[in-house]
């Protein structure tokens, strides 16, 4: 089992940046494909980005391509999401998740989830 804890959320103005972190403990972090999802107010949880175990491949939602970057540090068991050019529409609770399959967008394919961190982007 993998235990995931997100951090780094907060309030930022539109056009600003934030970096989210997801600290992992438990089974070997480097074995897992990792993903970021978000749940905007009143909406279902959506895929944001994913990265293979060795960071050799990434996958992004169209809405964040060119603005967000997913990365990982296997030596520190940590996943990151660098978010630039933030928009009010990016306001959401952001979750990290782990899976043993290659990067996929379906949340049902992810086995382990963090508790989420709130990101609020003001006009």
pLDDT tens readout for residues 42-79: 999 999 999 999 989 999 999 999 999 999 999 999 99
What's residue 26's pLDDT?
77
The pLDDT value given to residue 1:
83
pLDDT, residue 20, reads 98
Residues forming a β-bridge with 3:
25
Backbone phi and psi for residue 77, each to the nearest 5 degrees, phi listed first: 55, 45
pLDDT above 90: residue 3: yes
φ, ψ of residue 68 in degrees (nearest 5): -110, 145
- CA atoms within 13 A of residue 5's CA, in its CB half-sphere: 5
Rounded Cα distance between 20 and 7, Å, is: 6
Whether residue 82 is predicted with pLDDT greater than 80 in this model: the reply is yes
In whole angstroms, give the CA distance from residue 44 to residue 31.
28
């Amino acid at each position: 089992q993998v235990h995931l804890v997100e951090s780094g959320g907060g309030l930022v103005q539109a056009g600003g940046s934030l970096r989210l972190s997801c600290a992992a403990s438990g089974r070997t972090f480097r074995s897992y494909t990792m993903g970021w999802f978000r749940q905007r107010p009143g909406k279902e949880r959506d895929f944001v980005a994913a990265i293979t175990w060795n960071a050799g491949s990434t996958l992004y939602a169209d809405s964040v391509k060119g603005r967000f970057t997913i990365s990982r540090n296997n030596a520190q068991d940590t996943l990151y999401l660098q978010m630039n050019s933030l928009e009010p529409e990016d306001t959401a609770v952001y979750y990290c998740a782990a899976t043993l399959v290659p990067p996929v967008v379906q949340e049902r394919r992810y086995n382990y989830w963090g508790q989420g961190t709130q990101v609020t982007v003001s006009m």
